[in-house]
Structure 1
Amino acid sequence: MNITKMAKANEIKRDWIVLDAEGKIFGRLVAEVATLLRGKHKPCYTPNIDCGDFVVIINAPKAKFSGVKLEDKEYFTHSGYFGSTKSKTLKEMLEKHPEKLYKLAVRGMLPKTKLGRTMIKKLKVYCDGNHPHSAQVSK
């Protein structure tokens, strides 16, 4: 009888994966990042254990968007006070805070639990081609 082996937290081996966003479609890249953070690409995937890898995204503002999303898509924030709703377009977010944009998109694809909050901490986003995690990345 074959029994499915469940992974344990101390048996998980995490890798460092570097993804270059230059010239890639934003949505497809973010979907791939969510899969890597969750660990669904590994044969030892267990839904209730964080078995994903660390992901480093470089050249974040150079991703491609289709259509007129850059001008039309808006992100809203609300502090909780009356009349405090603020909005920014995708273009403004990409220019000023690309790290926030990527984390917001990936967070929507992860579980909305403590497990999802620990997974999103393994995502590192950088605007240029340099990152301080070169020692961890295996070549």
Structure 2
Amino acid sequence: MEITKTPKQNEIKRDWIVLDAKGKVFGRLIAEVATILRGKHKPIYTPNFDCGDFVIIINAKEVQFNGFNKLEDKKYFTHSGYFGSTKSKTLAEMLEKQPEKLYRLAVRGMLPKTKLGRAMLKKLKVYTSDSHPHTAQVADSKKA
């Protein structure tokens, strides 16, 4: 009888994958990022532990959106917990001022809502330009 071998946390090799957001559709890019962070692209994928890779997104502001007037119509809300403290920002404002937060919110919705999902989200790095400080890690891994 064959037994399925589950790898241990120290046996998992994590790669650093660089994704260029220039000209890509936002939703499709985020779905790809969530798949890589969870590790579903690997043959050793197990849903109960983190086996995903690190993801670096460059050129975050130059992504495209499908949909008529989505940049003006879609809103993101924040609430501090006090009465009347609800604030909203449009997608265009978020993309201009806080693209890192926009990407994190989108990816967080596609990951598990547990400690495991929060650990996976820490492996996402978002930068608005071509340069990033992870060149040493990426040199050993593959580029996408």
Normalised-by-shorter TM-score class: over 0.9
1:62 aligned partner: 62
Note the residue ranges of structure 2 that are not aligned, 5 or more in a row. none
- CA deviation digits over 1:22-75, x for unaligned, max 9? 000000000000000000000001111110000000000101001221010000
Cα distance in structure 1, aligned partners of 2:5 and 2:91? 43
Taking only the aligned residue pairs, the percentage that are identical comes to 80
Report the equivalent of 2:99. Answer: 98
Instruction: Kindly report the root-mean-square deviation, in angstroms, between the aligned alpha carbons of the 2 structures.
Output: 0.9
Q: Secondary structure at the match of 2:19?
A: strand
2:126 partner letter:
V
TM-score relative to the length of structure 1: 0.97
Say if 1:7 and 1:46, in contact at 8 Å, map to a contact too. no
> Match of 2:42?
42
1:31 aligns with 31
After TM superposition, where is structure 1 displaced by more than 6 Å over at least 4 residues in a row?
none
Q: For 1:1-139, what aligned pairs fall within 5 Å after superposition?
A: 1-67=1-67, 68-137=69-138, 138=141
Q: Secondary structure at the match of 2:136?
A: coil
Aligned residues: 139
Per-residue deviation at 1:5?
A: 2.3
CA deviation after TM superposition for structure 1 residue 4, in Å: 2.6
Deviations 1:64-113 (A, max 9, x none): 00122101000000000000000000000000000000000000100111
Contact (CA 8 Å) 1:76, 1:88: kept in 2 or not? yes
CA-CA distance at 1:123 after TM superposition: 0.2
Q: Which whole-Å CA distance do the structure 1 matches of 2:117 and 2:71 have between them? A: 28
